[in-house]
């Protein structure tokens, strides 16, 4: 099996949200265990000071936008996703990939689900720029 290495520098070269989403897709399956009984390890990691710091930096870098696409600002909870999945061994060995900004991207909940479980729906719609009286039916 060939390992695909995904990077932030390559991702942001892609012009559309759909292309970026396809680039990130993991082809996962619902219920597939990643950490199993060792899930406490990734939970400890995600509570660490180092993670919170890099998470903040990545959100600022991506301007709080889904897949760093400024047409898709995230209005709900912002997730910071590892482009290349992390493993129990990465956490136990303190791998550099855990906190490498090249391996991280901001995503919405729906986008994270699409990346993790392999569904392309729903692709978010860009925010509509409102104009004066555009919702007023009698003008």
Token pair belonging to 8: 């932030």
Q: What is the pLDDT of residues 41-81, one digit of tens each?
A: 888 899 999 999 999 999 999 999 999 999 999 999 999 99
Cis check for the bond before 122: say yes or no (omega within 30 of 0).
yes
Q: Which residue has the higher pLDDT, 6 or 135?
A: 6
What percent of the chain has a predicted confidence (pLDDT) above 90? 54
The answer to whether 9 and 102 have CB atoms below 8 angstroms apart is yes
Residue from 49, 50, 35, 33 nearest 95 by CA = 50
* Residue 3: predicted pLDDT: 58
* Residue 127: predicted pLDDT: 67
What would the mean pLDDT of 101-117 be, rounded to a whole number?
Answer: 93
Q: What is the pLDDT of residues 13-34, one digit of tens each?
A: 999 999 999 999 876 554 455 5
Band of the pLDDT at 135, cuts 50, 70, 90?
A: confident
Band of the pLDDT at 123, cuts 50, 70, 90?
A: low
Prediction pTM value? 0.79
Q: Is 96 exposed, middle or buried (0-12, 13-18, 19+ CB in 10 A)?
A: exposed
């Amino acid at each position: 099996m060939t390992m695909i290495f995904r990077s932030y520098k390559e991702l942001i070269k892609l012009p559309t949200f759909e292309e970026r989403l396809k680039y990130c897709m993991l082809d996962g399956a619902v219920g597939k265990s990643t950490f199993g009984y060792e899930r406490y390890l990734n939970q400890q990691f995600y509570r660490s000071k180092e993670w919170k710091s890099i998470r903040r930096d990545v959100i600022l870098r991506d301007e709080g936008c889904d897949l760093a696409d400024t047409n898709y600002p995230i209005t709900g909870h912002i997730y910071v996703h590892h482009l290349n999945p992390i493993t129990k061994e990465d956490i136990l060995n303190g791998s550099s990939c855990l906190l490498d900004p090249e391996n991280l991207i901001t995503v919405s909940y729906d986008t994270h689900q699409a990346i993790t479980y392999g569904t392309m729906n729903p692709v978010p719609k860009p925010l509509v720029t409102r104009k004066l009286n555009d919702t007023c039916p009698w003008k």
